[in-house]
Amino acid sequence: MISYLTQQLHVWADQFDETDEKQKASTWKFFNWYYFCIGVSMLVAVTVIVYIQDYIGWGWGHSC
């Protein structure tokens, strides 16, 4: 899934016109939210899923 999102990133970013100041700010917002969501998903992967595996069970951890 991440590889697909990374490949499509340039397609999504090309929707904004860099010469327009308002759309240039939108480009920054887009990338900020994109990398924020990637960071949060990694945080969940290494904390919440591991917590579930340790304290609830491997079956629940693998099904998440």
User: What is the spatial distance between Cα 31 and Cα 14, in angstroms, rounded to a whole number?
Assistant: 12
State how far the alpha carbon of 33 is from the alpha carbons of 2, 26, 51, in Å: 15, 11, 26
Q: Model confidence over 11-64: pLDDT tens digits?
A: 666 676 777 777 777 777 878 888 898 889 888 888 988 888 888 877 766 665
Q: For tokens 């887009």, name the residue.
A: 30
* Domain boundaries along the sequence of the chain: 26-64
User: What is the spatial distance between Cα 43 and Cα 48, in angstroms, rounded to a whole number?
Assistant: 8
User: What is the spatial distance between Cα 17 and Cα 29, in angstroms, rounded to a whole number?
Assistant: 14
Residue that wins the pLDDT comparison between 6 and 24 = 24
Q: Is the pLDDT of residue 1 over 60?
A: no
pLDDT at residue 5, rounded to an integer:
61
